[in-house]
């Protein structure tokens, strides 16, 4: 049987803010009748992840492209891989059967053909919606968990600051830190987001960074006794002022620097004198380095979801054609929580 596979490609490298015209929806026939010797799996994609780091892969050059198999350059005109959940519709790989629900590296498209050795695992949804396994129970959740607990090691009563706090990773960092007994302040780009952080997610306080004219004074206002932990999702000026407001022995997990992704000239230049004399630890990390704690992360997070101690925050668009606008929305601050595209019904 043949199907038509519609998928998204980029028309060109994207070195500035992404726009609709940078993307194209392509369609090509795909045969579901497999050669028995082929050892491949064809997955019907159900939910695919939309993440800021893809922009660095779309650039003509980014220092990130040579550092990890997940960050390699995206070639204009070719399919774009991403984390996602799907259903096996054909398989000659003995490890997978038709009908299996799977999670792994799929495409921004309707189907993915995965050769032996590709990143794909059977998924037990454990009673949760499949979309959770793309976000809160997938890499976004692992990123928040690993960055906070493995790098920042929060202690009860410590003061935690999170940027892009209503995003996919940031909202979980704040919720996890609250459960560890920390005082948590987040920043985000609108009044509505600030209200959600305080009223829905239980942050102690939050502010709209776009309304502030002097971010250093802003942090002094929210942290009169200094910051112990900064979970950095944005880089740039916010990172510089966070360093200036850190306490002695503070920890900074550099998760992402989204404010620098659109402008390769823009670099945070935090005061290294402060870093030295305050003995601040600043560590970049990749969630993929923490697969060893995935089991621990999953059981803890599932428990907290079941007992209502953590709120899932998802922002789901529909259909493969909505992928470009979903991706662009991240750079316009239009997403509330984990941005996902639902490609098809199970
Ligand atoms: P997200 O926060 O859900 O979405 C991006 C958010 O960033 C937007 O909603 C927007 O919120 C904010 N933003 C966009 N442009 C900005 C700018 N110029 N300055 C400040 N904020 C801006 O995305 P996410 O998936 O959770 O990712 C958050 C960060 O973590 C990103 O930097 C990403 O690259 C990184 N990350 C790293 C890893 C890792 O393994 N190290 C894994 C996942 C993600 P506002 O309304 O607040 O502006």
pLDDT in tens, 256-304: 999 999 987 889 999 999 999 999 999 999 999 999 999 999 999 999 9
Closest-lying ligand 1 atom to the alpha carbon of residue 56: 34
Tell me which of 85-89, 113-117, 265-269 is least confident.
Answer: 265-269
pLDDT band at 97 (very low <50, low <70, confident <90, very high): very high
Structure tokens at 24: 């194209």
Q: What is the DSSP string of 8-47?
A: EEESS---SS--GGGEEEEEEEEE----TTS-EEEEEEEE
Percent of all residues in the chain with a pLDDT value above 90, rounded to a whole number? 95
C-alpha–C-alpha distance, residues 297 and 304, integer Å = 11
C-alpha–C-alpha distance, residues 123 and 112, integer Å = 16
- Mean pLDDT over 144-172 rounds to 98
- Mean pLDDT over 68-76 rounds to 91
pLDDT band at 334 (very low <50, low <70, confident <90, very high): very high
Alpha helices in 263-309 (DSSP H): 272-277, 294-306
C-alpha–C-alpha distance, residues 67 and 225, integer Å = 38
Structure tokens at 87: 């259903």
pLDDT tens readout for residues 184-205: 999 999 999 999 999 999 999 9
pLDDT band at 1 (very low <50, low <70, confident <90, very high): confident
Residue from 44, 166, 23 nearest 174 by CA: 166
232 Cα to the center of ligand 1, angstroms: 9
Mutational pocket test of ligand 1: of 145, 237, 333, the residue with most ligand atoms within 8 Å of the beta carbon: 333
Using alpha carbons only, give the angle 28, 34, 40 rounded to the nearest 5 degrees: 90
Task: Give the 3-state secondary structure percentages of the chain, helix then strand then coil, rounded to 5.
Answer: 35, 30, 40
Residue from 228, 236, 248, 247 nearest 152 by CA: 228
52 Cα to the center of ligand 1, angstroms: 6
Q: Is the model's pTM score more than 0.95?
A: yes
What letter would DSSP give residue 140? Answer: H
Closest-lying ligand 1 atom to the alpha carbon of residue 193: 46
- SS3 category, 114: strand
Write down all domains in the chain, each with its CATH number in brackets: 2-135+314-342 (3.90.180.10), 139-288 (3.40.50.720)
CB contact at 8 A, 297 and 306: no
168 Cα to the center of ligand 1, angstroms: 8
Question: What is the pLDDT, as a whole number, of residue 20?
Answer: 97
* Lining residues, ligand 1, CB within 6 Å: 51-53, 140, 143, 164, 167-170, 188-190, 193, 233-234, 255-259, 285-287, 330-331, 333, 335, 339
Strands (E), the chain: 2-10, 23-31, 40-49, 81-91, 101-107, 111-115, 120-122, 159-162, 183-188, 205-208, 227-232, 246-254, 281-284, 314-318, 338-342
Element (H, E) at 79: none
pLDDT band at 69 (very low <50, low <70, confident <90, very high): confident
104's torsion region: left (phi>0), alpha (psi -120 to 50) or beta?
A: left
Strand partners, 187: 207
283 Cα to the center of ligand 1, angstroms: 17
Question: Atom 36, ligand 1: which residue's CA is nearest?
Answer: 256
CB contact at 8 A, 177 and 154: yes
Beta-carbon contacts of 93 under 8 Å, excluding residues fewer than 6 positions away, are: 39, 40, 41, 114, 116
C-alpha–C-alpha distance, residues 128 and 306, integer Å = 9
């Amino acid at each position: 049987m043949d199907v038509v596979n519609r998928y998204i490609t980029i028309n060109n490298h994207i070195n500035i803010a992404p726009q609709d015209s940078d993307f194209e929806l392509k369609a090509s026939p795909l045969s579901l009748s497999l050669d028995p010797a082929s050892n491949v799996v064809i997955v019907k994609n159900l939910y695919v992840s939309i993440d800021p780091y893809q922009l660095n892969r779309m650039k003509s050059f980014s220092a990130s492209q040579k550092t990890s198999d997940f960050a390699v350059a995206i070639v204009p005109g070719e399919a774009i891989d991403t984390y996602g959940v799907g259903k096996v519709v054909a398989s000659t790989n003995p490890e997978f059967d038709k009908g299996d629900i799977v999670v792994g590296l799929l495409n921004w498209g309707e189907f993915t053909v995965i050769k032996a050795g590709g990143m794909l695992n059977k998924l037990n949804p454990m009673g949760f919606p499949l979309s959770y396994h793309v976000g809160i129970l997938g890499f976004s959740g692992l990123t928040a968990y690993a960055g906070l607990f493995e790098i920042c090691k929060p202690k009860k009563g410590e003061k935690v600051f999170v940027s892009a706090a209503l995003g996919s990773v940031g909202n979980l960092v704040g919720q996890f830190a609250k459960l560890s007994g920390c005082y948590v302040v987040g920043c985000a780009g609108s009044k509505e987001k600030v209200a959600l952080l305080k009223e829905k997610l239980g942050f102690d306080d939050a502010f709209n960074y776009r309304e502030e004219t002097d971010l250093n004074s802003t942090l002094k206002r929210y942290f009169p006794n200094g910051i112990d932990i900064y979970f950095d999702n944005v880089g740039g000026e916010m990172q510089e002022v966070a360093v200036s407001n850190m306490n002695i022995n503070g920890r900074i997990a550099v998760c992402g620097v989204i404010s620098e992704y659109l402008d390769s000239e823009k670099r945070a230049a935090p005061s290294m004198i402060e870093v030295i004399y305050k003995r601040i630890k600043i560590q970049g990390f990749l969630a993929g380095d923490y697969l060893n704690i995935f089991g621990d992360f999953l059981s803890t997070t599932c428990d907290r979801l079941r007992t209502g101690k953590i709120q899932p925050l998802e922002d789901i668009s529909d259909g493969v054609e909505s992928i470009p606008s979903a991706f662009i929305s991240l750079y316009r601050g239009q997403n509330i929580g984990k941005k996902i595209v639902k490609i098809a019904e199970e």
